[in-house]
Amino acid sequence: EAQVTQNPRYLITVTGKKLTVTCSQNMNHEYMSWYRQDPGLGLRQIYYSMNVEVTDKGDVPEGYKVSRKEKRNFPLILESPSPNQTSLYFCASSFNDRYQETQYFGPGTRLLVL
Amino acid sequence: AQSVSQHNHHVILSEAASLELGCNYSYGGTVNLFWYVQYPGQHLQLLLKYFSGDPLVKGIKGFEAEFIKSKFSFNLRKPSVQWSDTAEYFCAVASGNTGKLIFGQGTTLQVKP
């Protein structure tokens, strides 16, 4: 089944404790991105990757890192999480970065930073 | 900067009522428009999309949307909603040369049985 998976689905952590949220897709997609969803703000792009070893900042990259060592995986790293990073995070992928392509979303990771 | 605005933040309807959710965007060039739906506890799913051609687009589950270029709008409609349509609806725009999506704030639809 074609899908985007994220782990963990729920995470409670404390300020400053490094964490990684994994994202994996099995559709051989080139383009992957991370969004955060906050009430009243919709989804905002954090980082995106157009292919292996090619990543770039989205609209709200502060406090986040990403890597793209393999085509299927695009982990989101919070080196020193803070309470303002409490949010719902979605990973998405599409065949390529052309704007016609439909993006497929993962199930989401709900993060609470205390 | 590009932006997407959804006018209705929270809509409550009774079953069988008609639905129209507004979406306006600000971008003067070629755009591609999407409506995504997020059912409670689930991830975003594509409802419909417009790239070119007929400005009236039909999607899944009886939804449709009309692209009106002169009004920079892409409103979502459904003639008769069901309780199972209770969800959050997001309008999104992709433009330029990238796959980046700009999302609206979302509209929460609650359908009463």
Mean pLDDT across chain A: 92
A39 vs B70: CA distance, rounded Å: 30
- The answer to whether residues B45 and B36 touch, using CB atoms and an 8 Å cutoff, is yes
In B3-32, the residues whose Cβ lies within 8 Å of chain A are 4, 6, 9, 32
Instruction: Measure the CA–CA gap between A52 and A70, rounded to whole angstroms.
Output: 6
> A91-109 as b/e, with b when 16 or more CB fall inside 10 Å?
bbbbbebebebebbbbbbb
| pLDDT (0 to 100) of residue B12 | 97
Number of H helices, E strands in chain A: 0, 11
The answer to whether B39 contacts chain A (CB < 8 Å) is: no
pLDDT at A93 over 80: yes
pLDDT in tens, A26-55: 999 999 999 999 988 889 999 999 899 999
In which band, very low, low, confident or very high, does the pLDDT at A63 lie, cut at 50, 70 and 90? very high
pLDDT tens digits along B59-113: 999 999 999 999 999 999 999 999 999 999 999 988 666 667 889 999 999 999 8
Lowest mean pLDDT, pick from B28-32, B51-55, B102-106: B28-32
Q: What's the CA gap between B67 and B35, in Å, rounded?
A: 12
Round to whole Å and give the CA distance between A76 and A95: 20
What is the band of B51 on the pLDDT scale with cuts at 50, 70, 90?
confident
Task: For residue B42, list chain A residues with Cβ-Cβ distance below 8 A.
Answer: 107
Nearest CA in chain A to B106: A42
Secondary structure (3-state) at B83:
helix
pLDDT surpasses 60 at B5: yes
Amino acid at A48: Y
Nearest Cα of chain A lies from the Cα of B54 at a distance, in angstroms, of 16
Tell me how close the Cα of B107 comes to any Cα of chain A, in angstroms.
Answer: 9
Nearest CA in chain B to A57: B100
Specify burial of residue A74 (Cβ count, 10 A radius: 0-12, 13-18, 19+). Answer: buried
Optimal mutation site among A1, A103, A104, A109, interface B, most CBs of chain B within 10 A: A103
Higher pLDDT, B46 or B97: B46
Task: Let me know the angle formed at the C-alpha of A109 by A3 and B59, rounded to the nearest 5 degrees.
Answer: 50
Considering only the beta carbons, identify the residue of A41, A48, A90 that sits closest to B105. A41
What is the predicted pLDDT for the residue at B99? 62
Strands of A19-25's sheet, edge to edge?
Answer: A4-7, A19-25, A76-78, A65-66
First to last CA, chain A: 36
